[in-house]
Structure formats: structure tokens, C-alpha cells
Amino acid sequence: MSSSPTPGNASNSPTQASGPASPILQIALRDISVLFRTPWIIISRSLAFIIQLFVFAFLISELVVIPGRPSSYFFEYYAVGSVVGTIASISFIIGYDIFEEAEEGVLDYLLTLPVSRRQFIIGRALGGAIRAMIYIIPMFVIVAVLEHFNNPASLAAAVLDLFLLAFGVTGLSITVAVSVRSANRFDVVLALLELAVSRASTALYPIAFMPSYVAAVAPFSPVSFAADSTRSALTDVTLNFPSLLGLVAFVVIFLGLGSAFYFRKLEGGVYA
């Protein structure tokens, strides 16, 4: 699904630099460059977003009436949720990169570089999150212009929500990538996980309209945390502290799990 760099490409190699943050930034920049070497990912996801927003959301908003809300409410609800769902989806791609690197031996090379374990895992997660943000910003701007979101503080809070979600999903994707050895099983597990996290959430549909078995788990989805917090920031100009705290907890848990699984599996010789 992605194109991993090879050890022979010197431009992809993080180099030792002065300052504790430099190795992290070098690793992050390497992962960011991968996104631009696979433009088909950007093109396909962008087309999907445009169709989802300007065709599906427009049509379904004419059919959905929510009591106490204006007729345009569902389009706004769906538009914001589409951005949240898309950034969650694109953030999962880091897992495919890591899995391919492990299979092709690139990961062994990267681990010989003079970078500490903590810097390495933070750099990978940060790179995955930043490239997801680069990808999603044009879509976020389209929605902000369409819905007249122009409060600087609200926009900044929404961007923070999106970044936290991307950062946490990269950690989740890394955890899955180093926990599943079979390529076929990995593809299935990550695809199902992406589907469950994104669809069993309040990103696209209000919880009141969900089946009971979905409504029972949707409030605990990290995508729901991000969607609810982003909508509160943009439409109500308030901070949704419970959702924001849920996002932070999601980031901490899966960044820690990703780090622990990453190096425990590697040292155990899983990819040897």
C-alpha cells in the first residue's frame, strides 16, 4: 500500500545532529517524504473526500431532519466528521510502511542509526501524524470556508484535535504492525480496525440514529472524541474537555504500547 525507502538512499537516512530534538525531526521528515513519493494516495483519498462531501453529504442532508436544528445542520455535521474520519484513515498508513520495512530489511538498517529508542518511536509517530495533517489541511480549509468557520481560537482548537487523533492513530497502527506477522492477516486486521474505529463513531452519524449495539461503543471511539471535540470548537466555540481528555489518553496509551511492542518484538527476532 505504500512505498518504503531503501537503505541505499542516503537522502532518507536520519543523520546525527546537534540537539536532542534533531534525530526525532530527521526521522519524522523521512516519514513525511514517503507521502509525497506516493501521490496516488493523496489523489485517491482527495477524490473520495470530494465525492463524499459534495455528492453524498449534499444528497443525504436533504433527507435527514433533526428536531430543533436547521435544515443545513446535518451537512455541517457530516462535513466536519468527514475531515475527522479522513485523517484517521490516512494515519493508519504508517502501519503499512513499518510492516513493509520490517519484511524488506529496511527496519534493521534504520535501527543501526545513532538514534535512541525513544527518539525513534516518537519520530515515527510524529512523522505519521504530521504527514496526515499536511494531507488533511486543504480539506479542512474547504469545510471551514463552506461553513464560515472563521474564529481563530476555534480553528486552532480544531487543528489540535485533529493532530491528537492523528498522533494516537499512528501509535495504534504501529502497535498492530509489530504485533501481526502474517502479511495477509495484517492487511485484514488493520482494515477491520480502521473500519471499526471510523464507522463505529459519531464522526458521520449522530448517536441517536445508530443501532443500539453501535451506540453502545461509539462514545468510546477515539474518532468520536475527535469529532465531538472538533464540532464543539467550530460550531459552539467551546472546549469539550471530556473528549479532549479522551484524545490525550488515547495518544498516551497507544504511543506507549507502540513503543513497547515495537522494540520487544524486534529484539525477540520476530522479523529475523
Confidence (pLDDT) at 66: 72
In three state form, how does the secondary structure of 132-201 look?
HHHHHHHHHHHHHHHCCCCCHHHHHHHHHHHHHHHHHHHHHHHHHHHHCCCHHHHHHHHHHHHHHHHHCC
Residue span of the structural domain in which 30 resides: 20-267
Comparison of pLDDT for 42 and 158, the residue scoring more: 158
Average pLDDT, the chain: 80
Comparison of pLDDT for 48 and 110, the residue scoring more: 48
pLDDT tens readout for residues 34-63: 766 667 777 787 888 888 888 888 888 877
Specify if 252 maps to a domain.
yes
Count of domains for the chain: 1
pTM score: 0.81
What does the pLDDT average to over 128-148? 91
Confidence (pLDDT) at 6: 41
Residue 153 has pLDDT above 90, yes or no: yes
Specify if 3 maps to a domain.
no
Residue 142 has pLDDT above 90, yes or no: yes
Comparison of pLDDT for 261 and 86, the residue scoring more: 86
Specify if 14 maps to a domain.
no
Confidence (pLDDT) at 201: 92
Taking a C-beta distance cutoff of 8 angstroms, is the pair 86, 139 a contact? yes
What does the pLDDT average to over 72-90? 89
Specify if 2 maps to a domain.
no
Taking a C-beta distance cutoff of 8 angstroms, is the pair 126, 24 a contact? yes
